Amino acid sequence: MSILEKIETLKQQASEHIIDQQEKVEEFRLKFLSKKGELNELFEEFKKVSGEEKKELGKQLNILRQQIESLYNDAKEKFSSTEKKFSANADETLPVNAYKIGSLHPISIVKNDIISIFEKIGFNVENGPEIEDDWHNFTALNFAENHPARDMQDTFFVEKKPKGNFALRTHTSSVQVRLMEYTKPPIRALMPGRVYRNEDVSARSNCFFHQIEGLYIDENVSFADLKQTLYYFVSQFFGEREIRFRPSYFPFTEPSAEMDIYLGTATEQDKRLTKGTGWLEILGCGMVDPNVLENCGIDSSKYTGYAFGMGIDRITMLRYGIKDIRQMFENDVRFLEQF
Work out whether 187 is an interface residue with ligand PHE (CB under 6 A).
no
Which residues, numbered 244-263, are part of the site for ligand PHE (CB under 6 A)?
Answer: 250, 253
Work out whether 196 is an interface residue with ligand PHE (CB under 6 A).
no
Q: Are 259 and 286 in contact (CB under 8 A)?
A: no
Which residues, numbered 154-183, are part of the site for ligand PHE (CB under 6 A)?
Answer: 171, 173
Quote the CA–CA distance of 298 and 290 in Å, as a whole number.
Answer: 9
Work out whether 132 is an interface residue with ligand PHE (CB under 6 A).
no
Least distance from ligand PHE to the Cβ atom of residue 172, Å = 7
* H or E element at residue 135: helix 134-137
Nearest residue to ligand PHE by CB is 309
DSSP at 126: -
Q: Find the binder of ligand PHE among 39, 140, 308, 328 (CB under 6 A).
A: 308
Q: In this structure, which amino acid lies at residue 297?
A: G
Work out whether 118 is an interface residue with ligand PHE (CB under 6 A).
no
Quote the CA–CA distance of 294 and 201 in Å, as a whole number.
Answer: 37
120 Cβ partners below 8 Å, 6+ apart? none
- In angstroms, the Cα distances linking 18 to 8, 27, 73 are 18, 10, 14
Work out whether 307 is an interface residue with ligand PHE (CB under 6 A).
yes
Select 32 or 196, whichever has its Cβ closest to ligand PHE: 196
Work out whether 229 is an interface residue with ligand PHE (CB under 6 A).
no
- Three-point CA angle 281, 287, 292, nearest 5°: 115
Number of residues interacting with ligand PHE: please give it, by CB under 6 A.
11
Q: Find the binder of ligand PHE among 106, 192, 193, 286 (CB under 6 A).
A: 286
Least distance from ligand PHE to the Cβ atom of residue 290, Å = 15
Quote the CA–CA distance of 216 and 232 in Å, as a whole number.
Answer: 15
Interacting residues with ligand PHE (CB under 6 A): 171, 173, 213, 250, 253, 284-286, 307-309
